[in-house]
Structure 1
Amino acid sequence: MSRRHDSDAAGMRHQRASRLAAGPLAALLLSGCILYEDRDDRDGRQMSPGAVREVPLRVVEQGGQSLAFVPVSVEGEGPFMFALDTGASSSVVDDDVADRAGLDRTGEHRSVSGILGTGQVPVARVEQWKVGDVPIGPGEVTVIDLGPPRGSGGIQGLLGSDVLRGFGSITVDYDDGVLKVGAP
């Protein structure tokens, strides 16, 4: 067999395998999109498992990069604009926000690293907070000076994977400006 014939045969096998996998894969993907929302907790009632809540999302394009911001209330203060950061293992609150919300530092310090270096930062406990109108369970945040607000308000915190994983799944809809989260 020639190299070209081997390549064509391999391509046909790959296309056939792709078509065979496409049906079950599509069914799997679509099954994850079927959600049941029996009740809405805006009335104080519990939401059904699998229900989805929507949070307003503001997308800021700057220098060829996109940042997605959501409103986060901390201990009844705010809302503050937090960037979604699925790459951050720990959520972060700007030190001004922590002071305004009256967050008590735990005395613990965590090591953090980023593009500017590595350092030890204080940890604070948050008892009541929510993204949009969706409650987040109590937890800890690192407290960092995120710098002065710039332009349209700047970053007042980062909502990291420690919080986002609590929703089970999230969808960032950049076109419609919505963060969709599973009911906690």
Structure 2
Amino acid sequence: MGPRDDTTPAARHRLVPGLLAALLLTGCAAFEDRDDGEETPAPTGSVREVPLRVEEQGAQTLAFVQVRLQGAGPFEFALDTGASTSVVDDDVADRAGLELTGERRPVSGILGSGRVPVARVTDWEIGDVPVEPGEVTVVDLDSSRDDGEIQGLLGSDVLSDYGSVTVDYDDGVLRLPAP
């Protein structure tokens, strides 16, 4: 395989922290955390629950789910409703055998912008919940955190397919309606 993006190493180094900053500033802000003692009514129909790991980092709260790609994994993906497309770390894309489409999409963060490759995912799951085939952008996320824990971002492109999702921070559960 050829290079994954057309930015210089220095430009890419500036881009990744910007992407992470965008994740940390907008990623989980769109979820409602009810702490008023009231139960949120369950949506009609069947609901599937996916374990959710909630991590507090100073003033930031990140929510992680396990995602399998092409049968590989599980990988730690942060929920990011502010991301219009889901993102996969380039090492994860290689491990899962994702094939690049040849398309490059623009991405931007606080410190820079660039065009990154797109990969097709035909078989993936959030926990044990199947996800429709789709595309992800491929970015080097390893340097975005010291422990390299973020292996992808699950964006609104995937989450919106479920219509209504519930993120229960207290019980550590992501609820997705059944089809």
Q: TM-score range by the shorter chain?
A: 0.7 to 0.9
**Cα displacement string for residues 18-66 of structure 1 (whole angstroms, at most 9, x for unaligned residues):** xxxxxxxxxxxx9x93545xxxxxxxxxxxxx31110000011112100
Alignment partner of 1:67 out of 62, 65, 70: 62
Pair 1:33-2:41 in alignment: yes
Aligned to 1:39: none
Give the Å deviation of 1:116. 2.6
**Structure 1, residues 157-181: CA drift from partner, whole Å, max 9, x if none?**
0000000001111111000000011
Match of 2:164 in 1: 169
Q: Percent identity?
A: 69
Cα gap change, 1:113/1:79 in structure 2, threshold over 3 Å: closer, same or farther?
Answer: same
The aligned counterpart of 1:14 is none
Deviation at 1:183, TM superposition (A): 1.5
Deviations 1:88-125 (CA, angstroms, capped at 9, x unpaired): 00000000000000000000000011123111000000
The 4+ residue runs of structure 1 with deviation greater than 3 A are 148-151
TM norm structure 2: 0.74
**Paired residue type of 2:41:** C
Which structure is larger by alpha-carbon Rg, 1 or 2?
1
Task: Give the aligned residue type for 1:33.
Answer: P
Note the residue ranges of structure 1 that are not aligned, 5 or more in a row.
Answer: 1-29, 37-49
Question: Quick one: distance in 1 between partners of 2:91 and 2:47?
Answer: 32
User: 2:82 is paired with a residue of what secondary structure?
Assistant: coil
Offset of 1:150 from its aligned partner? 3.5
Instruction: For residues 136-157 of structure 1, give each alpha carbon's deviation from its aligned partner in whole angstroms, at most 9, with x where no partner exists.
Output: 0000000000024644x51000
Matches within 5 A, 1:71-90: 71-90=66-85
Structure with a larger share of its residues in helix: 1
- Distance of 1:141 and 1:121 partners within structure 2: 10
- Inter-partner Cα distance in structure 2 for 1:123 and 1:158: 14
Output aligned runs, 1:1-184, within 5 Å: 33-36=41-44, 50-148=45-143, 150-151=146-147, 154-184=149-179
TM-score (norm 1): 0.72
SS in 2 for 1:100: helix
- What's the counterpart of residue 29 of structure 2? none
Compute the displacement of 1:182 (Å). 1.1
User: How far apart are the structure 2 equivalents of 1:97 and 1:118?
Assistant: 22
